[in-house]
Amino acid sequence: MHSKEQSRSSIFRTGSRTTTAALGLAIVLALTVVPIPAQAQTFTVLHSFTCCEEGYLPFAGLTMDRAGNLYGTTSAGGANSVCCGTVFKLTHKVFSKLSSLEGSYGDAPVARVVFGPDGSLYGTALYGGSRDYCDSGNGCGTVFKVSPPPTPCKTALCGGWDTTRLHAFTGASDGGEPGYGDVVFDQAGNLYGTTIIGGMGNCNSPSETCGVVYKLTPSNGGWTGSVLYSFKGGSDGGNPYAGVIFDAAGNLYGTTALGGQYGYGTVYQLTPSGSGWVENILYAFHGGDDGVNPTGGLIFDQSGNLYGTTSAGGPGGGGTVFTLKPSNGNWTFSVAASFTGSGSSPGPSDSLIMDAAGDLYGTTASDGAYLTGSVFKLTPVQGGWTEADLYSFTCDVGCYPHGSVLLDAKGNLYGTAELGGAGSGGIVWEIAP
């Protein structure tokens, strides 16, 4: 594992193997408002992170409450400086650190926090927790909860929310290293997610495991973990970076970054049965124009069609946006858009979002005019899609957005960029129509 003083950008694991790409930073003052003449929209930096107390390197997207406040995570920094990340809140550009993670609670949250049924924020950390073989002995990741205190915090950096560890992964049969995907709740209050490694399957050698889909059930004031499916790394897929989503019938859907018939990842469905959960592969990526390595999750539209992304491959080498439409028990795959990549940095790394008109929005980590990331919009037109780049990032303002896009009721878009900005530690941004 590379040093935590380095950026966690461009981490891509194959089983337990990690490669990194060095990214340069232009450390200059960022303009906080940048007009986008072609789209008649305005890009605004809501917050620029500076190492280290408040956290830095925001890898994941954002969550919004009913009052319009934004919540997110940083993958590094906090009370322990370089380690272990923070949970934060933005209210009208006023930054508050809600929690500083530490090794026992988790290290490096690279997924969003989401609100649970009790009003607390729930998330995962890639490392930390129990000390095992993951990350050179620093733990195999956690599921954590951050709850508001009985009385409001009076300072921006007090970190006054209560942090609770719900589960510490061991890297063995229960899984290890939960990745980019959100956790999701069912109507009974059970929590579901995925891990990149761990489980019972052997991906490339007996020492490499392929990840799991897990469930946490509240029980007697704690949480009991169980594995719904353990990937084997063959035709069933392996190494799910993304989380899972439910359909109306209670089936789960997700992606694996690797495995499948051709080895380039899958889209899968898990259906509950009397003896457990049964997997059905909806699509196996070929490694051609369809794209490779889907690290982002899936979304449904009102007609039951699925939409997702691949982080690489496709005609331009920088990933794709794809659709899967159900028809007579089968699924029809098509590519809606493709992107131009840069080096080993990924294209779209996270899930898409759809507005009421059926337009899709997302980010790429290395596409755009400067190959340091973009925000894009896809509009359905006569059976196809028209792509528009809403913003191309530069590292003086902020660059390499890996997380998903958030859309509010007024049509404003929100997100994060992992690096750059006035403080050189990444930004939270807004695009207003």
> Structural domains in the chain?
40-61+373-433 (no CATH), 68-372 (2.130.10.10)
Residue listed under structure tokens 């925001």: 58
The DSSP-derived string for 226-293 is EEEEE--SSTT-B---S--EE-TTS-EEEEESBBSSSSB-EEEEEEEETTEEEEEEEEE--SSTT-B-
This prediction's pTM:
0.89
Q: What is the C-alpha separation between 352 and 101, in angstroms, rounded? A: 28
Contact 283, 267 (CB under 8 A): yes
pLDDT value at residue 150: 74
Mean pLDDT over 154-176 rounds to 82
298-317 mean pLDDT: 95
* Distance from C-alpha of 159 to C-alpha of 132, rounded to nearest angstrom: 28
Cβ(424)–Cβ(27) below 8 Å: yes
Neighbours of 273 (CB within 10 A): 8
Q: In what order do the strands lie in the sheet with 86-91?
A: 63-64, 70-74, 86-91, 94-100
For residues 189-209, average pLDDT: 83
- Nearest CA to 103 out of 131, 129, 135, 64 is that of 129
User: Is the pLDDT confidence value at 207 over 80?
Assistant: no
Euclidean distance between CA atoms 110 and 103, whole angstroms: 15
Query: How much is the mean pLDDT over the chain?
Result: 87
Task: Give the list of residues 6+ apart from residue 274 with CB closer than 8 angstroms, or none.
Answer: none
pLDDT tens-digit readout, 344-383: 557 999 999 999 999 999 999 988 899 899 999 999 998 8
SS (H, E, C) 377-407: EEEEECCEEEEEEEEECECCCEECCCCCCEE
Residue range 66-75, pLDDT digits in tens? 999 999 999 9
Q: In sequence order, which residues have a C-beta less than 8 Å from that of residue 272 and are 6 or more positions away?
A: 250, 251
Which residue type occupies 288?
G
Q: For residues 314 and 47, what is the distance between their CA atoms, to the nearest angstrom?
A: 34
Report pLDDT digits (tens) over 249-271.
Answer: 999 999 999 999 999 999 999 99
Handedness of CA 362, 367, 368, 372 (dihedral sign): positive
Q: What pLDDT was estimated at residue 205?
A: 56
Span 155-179, average pLDDT: 85
Q: 98 near 146, Cβ under 8 Å? A: yes
Number of Cα atoms under 13 Å in the Cβ half of residue 416: 32
Cα separation, 38 vs 75, in Å, equals 33
* DSSP label at residue 131: -
Rounded-to-integer distance, Cα 12 and Cα 295, Å: 9
